[in-house]
Amino acid sequence: MAPGLFITFEGIDGAGKSSHIAPLAAAWRAQGRCVTLTREPGGTPLAEKLRALLLHDDMDALTEALLVFAARRDHLRCVIEPALARGDVVLCDRFTDATFAYQGAGRGFDTQVLSYLERIAQTGLALEPDLMRNPDLTLWFDLAPDVAAARLADARSPDRFEALDTAFFHRVAQGYAARAASAPQRFARIDAAQPQAQVWQQLTAVLVQRGWLADGAGVVPAMSVPGATL
């Protein structure tokens, strides 16, 4: 059995990451791999309830962080860890990097507290009892906040985060850049300002280079506006 792979997709709202997840799953399934598609916050019935609160109810940054990590703990326990133990490829729309980017850089919340919550929520769920679960690879869709905002302008009514000003998303983008700089072996930067076909080529090239995906696998996804993710 092939070992499980945990791959996350990160970027500010409007970066286009969500439109690539299903086509990438199809490419892996065509190669005979089992794939689990999921998202954060969310992925389990409990975590989806917490997601609704996070996106629509007013709260401070600490409350946001506690709810995010509570949802993540349940998500890891019920979905991600069992899938990895089966040998699945797990494709997750956002994970802990989003918390450091949104609540940490965006909200200005203490990153040391976030690191403490990360250790608590993400340790002791894998087969290795002391493992703190992190992705094997993070695909970071890097896009200027002004461009991302223009893409989402006519999509639908914004949620609590999408309604924040551009300055907030500039801070979030800087938070992602800092996370990528701190873990260059895990992050792969995708230039999300490029046309859809070129974005697809960038991300598949990363996976081919690592030996995880066959060269030329999959088709270019149809252009769509990404859905709301925290």
Q: Which CATH architecture has domain 5-217?
A: 3-Layer(aba) Sandwich (3.40)
* Residue 49 assigned ligand-binding role: no
Q: What is the mean pLDDT of residues 105-115?
A: 95
pLDDT tens profile 35-62: 999 999 999 999 999 999 999 999 998 9
Distance of alpha carbon 107 from its chain centroid, rounded? Answer: 18
Predicted pLDDT at 156? 57
Predicted pLDDT at 153? 72
Residue scoring higher pLDDT (200 or 216):
200
* Residue 87 assigned ligand-binding role: no
Predicted pLDDT at 157? 65
Q: Over pLDDT 70: what percentage of the chain? A: 90
Predicted pLDDT at 52? 95
Q: What is the mean pLDDT of residues 6-27?
A: 93
For 110, counting Cβ atoms within 10 Å of its Cβ (0-12 exposed, 13-18 middle, 19+ buried), the class is middle
Q: What tokens appear for 136 in the block?
A: 């094997």
* Residue 11 assigned ligand-binding role: yes
* Residue 157 assigned ligand-binding role: no
* Residue 17 assigned ligand-binding role: yes
Domain boundaries defined on the chain: 5-217
Predicted pLDDT at 222? 54
Contacts of 8 (CB under 8 A, 6+ apart): 91, 92, 93, 94, 95, 97, 135, 137, 138, 139
Closest by Cα among 86, 78, 6 to 42: 78
**Helix extents (H) in 111-165:** 111-122, 145-152
User: How many helices (DSSP H) and strands (DSSP E) are in the chain?
Assistant: 9, 5
Q: Is the pLDDT of residue 102 over 50?
A: yes
Predicted pLDDT at 218? 59
pLDDT class of 220 with cuts at 50, 70, 90: low
Predicted pLDDT at 27? 94
* Residue 80 assigned ligand-binding role: no
pLDDT tens profile 157-206: 666 776 777 899 999 999 999 999 999 999 999 999 999 999 999 999 99
Q: What is the mean pLDDT of residues 16-29?
A: 93
* Residue 12 assigned ligand-binding role: yes
pLDDT tens profile 130-164: 999 999 999 999 999 989 888 777 665 666 776 77
Whether 72 and 123 have beta carbons less than 8 Å apart is answered as: no
Mean pLDDT of the chain: 90
Contacts of 152 (CB under 8 A, 6+ apart): 13, 14, 158, 162, 225, 226
* Residue 13 assigned ligand-binding role: yes
